[in-house]
Structure 1
Amino acid sequence: MTAMVSPTSWSATDPFAELDSVVAQSHQTHEQKLEEFYAYVNQYLDEYEQWRDEYTAKLDAEKAKHIENWGTGDVSDQTTSVEYSDNDAVKKVIDYENNTATISVLVPADTSDAEAEKQLDTLSVDLDGDKLAMTDAQISQQEVDYSAEQERKEYNFIVEQTEAQMNELDNQAERLIHTNTGIPDSFIYERAYKKKMALVTDAQERVKKLRALYKAKRAELGIPEPVAESAQSTASEQALETTEQTAQAPAQVSPSEEQQTAALPASPVAEQTDEQTAKIPAPAEQESAKPAEIEPKQTAQAAPKPTTTPKPMKVVSYTIKLPEGSLKKRAEQYRPMAETESKQFDVNPALVMAIMHSESSFRPDATSHVPAYGLMQVVPSSAGYDVNRTIRNIDAPMEADELYQPPVNVETGTAYLHILNDKYLSAIKDDKSRTFCTIAAYNTGAGNVARAFNPDHSTNIRQAADIINSMSSDEVYQHLIDNLPYDETKNYLKKVSSRMALYQ
């Protein structure tokens, strides 16, 4: 395959190398040019995905460090701020969704309540530049926990993050199709499928490392290993099934697009044996992953204790309610931006404010684990790219640093709402129905909204619009709640819809 020519690739040893390359390109066949273009697009998208993978690996390393000491790997997300002391012995958590602040301290398990309470006078939380004392805090304590339940919590984090990242690959594919790049839909869908399968494979390795970490800590502390629950259907295993199905079933070409592109080849997963099918192992399973070998009456065996058992630790937590009006104070700071951008893009400002509230609790430095950034939680390679190309005439994703700037972030998020409302979902006639669909699409993409309505689960939004237009807005809302593929999006639709009334 011929390499792409860079404008800056001038050769010092052969001044005519670039010219020769251009001449060679002019003699390429149509098939060679297409192959080269596809490789260019693939490499272009790979750059962001490589960065995402590096971000995920760094996050896993951070969580593993905290699991070592705390039994859990709490980290910041879009609505929660988590900070640790340099020695990892103190954890500060501000939960903006539930309006609480908690400081937790690791202490020896034999520390008395009186000794633990002495720390209150020295503890405080910074909130929007103000120091909040913990003297009136509610106190609770628990032993550092390396149980199967705690392990499953961390396992669920990996499953949910993988689902969210796979959903973004679908969004990216839909964006490429709707922007008419000239690339066949089959190429785009197949690429998304392969990338999703790679995410599942990576998640397998992440879960193995997680399991090994918990197993090692239980052995170190002399905690019995939990018995594998092979027959029990758990919430996380059900989530896993959704993850696998999503990865194994690439979106099909919509009927309206079949005339313009070759059909997507049959998924190779259909030809796989059970052993070949990708699966993220659930926690507390045997390493052999063969539940049939587990005896029905098997009892948990204590792990061999190390020569010197570490001293047991416990977590003492101090929790206060955040001052009333703190969220409102942050909201008012960004209302002028929301109103300015809403006017520019003809979007309801109450919708912009409700999305900021739900996405980040009005925190410009918020980062989710997709990752998405800032006040309106924009993903650089999907919504950010869509706005760059459609509004700014820039054919490139956005940068994280840009999205941490409130004016840029609010402009981008509002412009994306405009694109969803006026472009992708414009065939929906009723304003209220279209708003419900726009809210859902902001979280999960227009393709998943279409799938919720189309009997064949295609991403054809015009086909879905015919169905939507035959329903009342209340019926549309309920249908979305009942049929959207992810619980996160269902909850998101509920939160944003209800919060719009706060900003009317």
Structure 2
Amino acid sequence: MFNSIVKSTLAVAIASALSFNIAIADDKFAELDQAVTKQKQSHVDKVVEFHSYINAYLDEYESWRDQYTKDLDAQRAKLIASWGEGEVSGKTKTVDYSEDGQVKTVVDYDTNTMSVSLLVDVNYNPRDMKQLAKKVPSSIDGQKFELEKLEFEEELNLYSPEKEKKETQFIITQTQQQMNELDIQAERLIRSDTGVPDSYIYERAYKKNMALIMQSKKRIDVQSKIYKEMRAKYGIPEEVIIAKESSPIESTPVNTVPIKVEKKKTGTLISAPTQKDDPKVQPQKKTETATAPVIAKKAPAVVSTPKVTTPKKVVKYNVKLPANSLKIRATQYQPLAEKESQTWKIDAALVMAIMHSESAFRPDAKSHVPAFGLMQVVPSSAGHDVNKQVRNIDAPMKAADLYKPEINVETGTAYLHILHDRYLKSIKSNESRLYCVIAAYNTGAGNVARAFNTNKSTSVGRAAKVINLMSPDEVYDHLIKNLPYDETKNYLKKVNGRIALYR
């Protein structure tokens, strides 16, 4: 009996072992089959798979950027509806609004000025002003002032063509900055030797740039619609607005309604009546208020006019900040610049000049790219380069880290080192290389190379051969004339001019 039980148990154990080994063998064969299948995968499939990976990687940042832009446009749209302009904080300017949106304070660190603006009815009285004045803080950026003692200026036409052009330029400039960042990202991918063909990276950057341009056109159209709606709301004739753009004659229509233009069946405008055509028409007397020209021979049919809202006006007070404001901030961060300059063998005066130009020494600065902190580092380009080449982290930096002065200055200075000692090392003249490094900090080494290569290649090696045949002054002048973005040209001028301030 015992032997029978033992034999039975042994048989079960052997069967289990055999089935287990067979399962393992099956798994191994399955893995082998997968490996063979992968080897048989066509080259085209492999390329598509890798391209999808690169796209997904880059799309993550671009989706975040697009959401940032969408939120910014929503904020600016509300401000335009109220103030006639969408003024928001930038890398060298802080803009704050009161909770009820009637008071705006602006500190411009580039011009070292501050302004306090009050949004009031066009027929305000002094009592209203005193009430609004109570909403204004007694000091801004450490500067104390008394609103009642300051001179002010008034702005009546909040929805003028000039205002609309200014806000359109904001979108254009932001789009160019974002296109610039796409160029830098493409260049970084090429230098990273990912295995993706350069042609694919360039094509992707081109398509993304075109998408940004198309998006900016839609953004401008939406913004233009807001201005038209506000002009209609306040009874500002579009005809007068358009005439003002092309004529030096100024006009300030008040509480008027746009004249509807009748058209013939052929689609041409009916000519305006003249004294010769109709003796009853008397010459108009000159008045202070301009109105839209009458362009119909017959009076239009009576139509119900939209209810016109009483317009608003802006009263603006300007305050000059203390002359030493910038120096106080600069002194605070000079030790950091000197420390990192020794670590990375970069001139401390250059680091300070870049901080001055990028953020006016404000650690909480944020641009509309967006870039962050004292040296305005973009997480996915300069931040990623430093992470990968210095910290051995193949990932973009976090915005929160870039608001920390120590990390930001370390990152910005390390990126200058990468530009100077790696990307642009083939440029022999130290002065010529300095000019190229400054420009590359803003627009990337590839765009600097493109300025010198007749075929617009981003090859630094090819560009260096041209640069090395030129004097430093010739290199500087060539950059100013041929860099792809005006912002970079102005950036080179500013930073180069400010280096002497910190030596």
The answer as to 2:169 corresponding to 1:169 is no
Q: 1:417 maps to what in 2? A: 416
Q: Measure the CA separation in 1 of the matches of 2:438 and 2:86.
A: 31
Shift of 1:64: 0.4
Shift of 1:171: 0.8
Pairing of 1:220-231 with structure 2 (within 5 A): 220-226=233-239
Change (3 A) 1:346 1:106: same
The answer as to 2:96 corresponding to 1:83 is yes
Q: Measure the CA separation in 1 of the matches of 2:72 and 2:271.
A: 39
Please give the per-residue CA displacement for 1:177-199, whole angstroms capped at 9, x wherever unaligned.
11211110011011101111111
Determine which of 32, 47, 55 is the counterpart of 1:42. 55
Shift of 1:133: 4.5
2:165 partner amino acid: R
The answer as to 2:369 corresponding to 1:370 is yes
Q: Which moved more, 1:27-36 or 1:339-348?
A: 27-36
1:405 partner amino acid: K
Q: 1:399 maps to what in 2? A: 398
The answer as to 2:200 corresponding to 1:187 is yes
Unaligned runs of 5+ in 2: 1-26, 247-266, 273-291, 296-302
Change (3 A) 1:329 1:467: same
| Equivalent residues, number | 428
1:394 partner amino acid: I
Change (3 A) 1:216 1:389: same
Shift of 1:330: 0.8
Q: 1:408 maps to what in 2? A: 407
Q: 1:315 maps to what in 2? A: 314
Change (3 A) 1:165 1:115: same
Determine which of 224, 229, 245 is the counterpart of 1:216. 229
Please give the per-residue CA displacement for 1:95-152, whole angstroms capped at 9, x wherever unaligned.
0000011110011111246864785576336555565554553311111411222111
Runs of 4+ with >6 A deviation = 18-22, 227-230, 293-302
Q: Measure the CA separation in 2 of the matches of 1:19 and 1:403.
A: 45
Q: Measure the CA separation in 2 of the matches of 1:308 and 1:158.
A: 32
Structure exhibiting the larger radius of gyration computed from Cα positions? 2
Please give the per-residue CA displacement for 1:304-336, whole angstroms capped at 9, x wherever unaligned.
986432122110111111112111111111111
Shift of 1:48: 0.2
Q: Which moved more, 1:107-116 or 1:171-180?
A: 107-116
Q: Measure the CA separation in 1 of the matches of 2:206 and 2:313.
A: 45
Q: Measure the CA separation in 2 of the matches of 1:152 and 1:105.
A: 22
Secondary structure at the aligned position of 1:124 is classed as coil
Q: 1:435 maps to what in 2? A: 434
Q: 1:66 maps to what in 2? A: 79
Please give the per-residue CA displacement for 1:283-302, whole angstroms capped at 9, x wherever unaligned.
xxxxxxxxxx9979897789
Shift of 1:430: 0.8
CA contact 2:103–2:136 (8 Å) conserved in 1:
no
Change (3 A) 1:219 1:350: same
Pairing of 1:340-379 with structure 2 (within 5 A): 340-379=339-378
Change (3 A) 1:119 1:221: closer
The answer as to 2:474 corresponding to 1:475 is yes
1:372 partner amino acid: A
Q: 1:491 maps to what in 2? A: 490
CA contact 1:219–1:305 (8 Å) conserved in 2:
no
**TM-score (normalised: structure 2):** 0.79
CA contact 1:162–1:200 (8 Å) conserved in 2:
yes
Q: Measure the CA separation in 2 of the matches of 1:420 and 1:103.
A: 42
The answer as to 2:173 corresponding to 1:160 is yes
RMSD (Å) for aligned C-alpha atoms: 2.9
Determine which of 209, 213, 216 is the counterpart of 1:200. 213
1:469 partner amino acid: N
Q: Measure the CA separation in 2 of the matches of 1:397 and 1:42.
A: 15
Change (3 A) 1:482 1:397: same
Aligned-residue identity in percent: 54
1:429 partner amino acid: K
Secondary structure at the aligned position of 2:236 is classed as coil
CA contact 2:235–2:309 (8 Å) conserved in 1:
no
1:80 partner amino acid: K
Change (3 A) 1:465 1:148: same
Q: 2:191 maps to what in 1? A: 178
Q: Measure the CA separation in 2 of the matches of 1:460 and 1:313.
A: 55
Change (3 A) 1:136 1:296: farther
Q: 1:277 maps to what in 2? A: none
1:481 partner amino acid: I
Q: 2:151 maps to what in 1? A: 138
Q: Measure the CA separation in 1 of the matches of 2:174 and 2:270.
A: 34
Q: Which moved more, 1:178-187 or 1:110-119?
A: 110-119
CA contact 2:160–2:241 (8 Å) conserved in 1:
no
Q: 1:456 maps to what in 2? A: 455
Q: 1:466 maps to what in 2? A: 465
CA contact 1:116–1:316 (8 Å) conserved in 2:
no
CA contact 1:224–1:300 (8 Å) conserved in 2:
no
CA contact 1:220–1:305 (8 Å) conserved in 2:
no
Secondary structure at the aligned position of 2:238 is classed as coil
Unaligned runs of 5+ in 1: 1-14, 234-292
